[in-house]
């Protein structure tokens, strides 16, 4: 799945159309509250402008549903990028209209223009061929540096590189890194290979569990989805979040997984969803009525940590409990600490897991934190991405 990188293409004097993920959070005054997605795109951005390329950046922001809205404009992202680079960044007030065309035409070597939000045009999400062709005409080279949307066949992701014909179609450093870890490491992991899966619903992770059972040595199950497995074993789950309609599926996964599938042995419960509730730790499957499971218990945390300590490759997707709320963050903390203390290749699969690792200060202690929750989950399911397949081979 190795793809040609933007770093290995001559960009001098050429127009490079780069799909980035500038879907940054904005406050009510349209100020960016977290610019990490812009920062993470910088290596490939600098690679192009430092080598004399003319860079055209395109992205989505929010869910404007095909209509222009100041609330979802990429103008703040363009301004912030200019501040980080310490040089002017042009902003086009449309995507394929007259302003974009004139701003792109006026670019000189080493300059950058950011196009307005792709999703202001409904044709982006529908993958419209005409819209894709209009964007493709802007450039000599296409670069995909937006892993978070790689599982989508939107115009900017799949339609544009398809419309580029024989022109170079390459990956940026972000996508290159994601493919290396999420695809490469999983296809030939150093063993023992351990997956840690949490989150609320078994239904969200069915395909991941099923796919990883054929690859992993152990799969540790935490989060609320553990209670559906507990229910499948005939356990008492009290008021815990469960999916009764997935009990048969949980039974199938347990039968298929055998000793590979490791469930919690105890549960940290509360009689209300807040830090001040009455709390108790009980054996798994013994949650009293009026109580709900909100985290794995201390014995489960020790068990999971011991398995993690022996692992050579780890993939983690989903917290062990309500990590945003003390004391039900202890299970997630224990898992993160065990990963940080080890020497394994550790891949954190985006979303809440990435947020937990950042919140706990372990970002520098893991090998790779994915930039795309949905995309990383899709890749862990074993899916191929058309938006990546269409790019040039390395």
136-148 tens-digit pLDDT: 999 999 999 999 8
- Tell me how far apart the alpha carbons of residues 3 and 170 are, in angstroms, rounded to a whole number: 7
Residues 44-66 as b or e (16 or more Cβ within 10 Å = b):
bbebbbebebbbbbbbbbbebee
CA distance between the termini of the chain: 9
User: CB of 127 within 8 A of CB of 158?
Assistant: yes
Every domain of the chain with CATH number 3.40.50.1260 lies at: 6-172, 189-380
pLDDT in tens, 209-236: 999 999 999 999 999 999 999 999 999 9
Q: Which of 22-36, 187-201, 274-288, 366-380 has the highest mean pLDDT?
A: 274-288
Q: How far apart are CA 169 and CA 19, in angstroms?
A: 11
pTM of the model: 0.86
Q: What CATH number was assigned to the domain covering residues 189-380?
A: 3.40.50.1260
Q: Mean pLDDT, the chain, as a whole number?
A: 95
User: Is domain 6-172 given the CATH code 3.30.1490.100 in the classification?
Assistant: no
Element (H, E) at 120: none
Residue 199's pLDDT band (boundaries 50, 70, 90)? Answer: confident
Binning pLDDT at 50, 70 and 90, where does residue 185 land? confident
Q: Which residues participate in catalysis according to the annotation?
A: 37, 201, 351, 374
Q: What is the pLDDT of residues 39-82, one digit of tens each?
A: 999 999 999 999 999 999 999 999 999 999 999 999 999 999 99
pLDDT above 70: percentage of residues in the chain: 99
């Amino acid at each position: 799945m190795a793809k040609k990188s933007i770093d290995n293409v001559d960009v001098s004097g050429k127009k490079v159309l780069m799909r980035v993920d500038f879907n940054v959070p904005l406050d009510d005054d349209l100020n960016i509250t977290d610019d990490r997605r812009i920062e993470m795109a910088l290596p490939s951005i600098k690679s192009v402008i430092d080598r004399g390329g003319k860079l055209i950046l395109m992205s989505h922001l929010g869910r404007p549903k095909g209509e222009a809205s100041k609330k979802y404009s990429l103008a703040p992202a363009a301004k912030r990028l200019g501040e980080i680079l310490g040089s002017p960044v042009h902003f086009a007030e449309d995507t394929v209209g007259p302003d974009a065309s004139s701003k792109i035409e006026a670019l000189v070597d080493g300059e950058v223009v950011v196009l307005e939000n792709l999703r202001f045009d409904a044709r982006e999400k529908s993958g419209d061929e005409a819209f894709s062709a209009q964007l493709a005409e802007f450039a000599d080279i296409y670069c995909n540096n937006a892993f978070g949307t790689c599982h989508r066949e939107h115009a900017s992701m799949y339609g544009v590189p398809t419309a580029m014909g024989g022109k170079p179609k390459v990956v940026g450093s972000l996508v290159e890194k994601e493919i290396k870890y999420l695809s490469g490491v999983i296809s030939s992991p150093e063993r023992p290979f351990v997956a840690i899966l949490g989150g609320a619903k078994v239904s969200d992770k069915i395909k991941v569990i099923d796919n990883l059972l054929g690859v992993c040595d152990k799969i540790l199950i935490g989060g609320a989805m553990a209670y559906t497995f507990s229910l499948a074993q005939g356990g008492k789950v009290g008021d815990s979040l469960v999916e009764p309609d997935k009990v048969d599926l949980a039974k199938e996964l347990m039968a298929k997984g055998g000793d590979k599938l490791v469930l919690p042995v105890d549960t940290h419960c509360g009689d209300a969803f807040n830090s001040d509730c009455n709390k108790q730790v009980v054996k798994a499957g013994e949650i009293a009525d009026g109580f709900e499971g909100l985290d794995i218990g201390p014995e489960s945390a020790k068990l999971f940590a011991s398995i993690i300590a022996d692992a050579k490759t780890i993939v983690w997707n989903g917290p062990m409990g309500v990590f945003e709320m003390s004391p039900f963050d202890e299970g997630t903390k224990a898992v993160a600490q065990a990963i940080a203390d080890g020497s394994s290749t550790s891949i954190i699969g985006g979303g809440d897991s990435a947020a937990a690792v950042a919140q706990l200060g372990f970002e520098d202690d893991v090998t790779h934190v994915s930039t795309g929750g949905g995309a990383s989950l899709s890749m862990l399911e074993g899916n191929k991405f058309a938006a990546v397949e269409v790019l040039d081979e390395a």
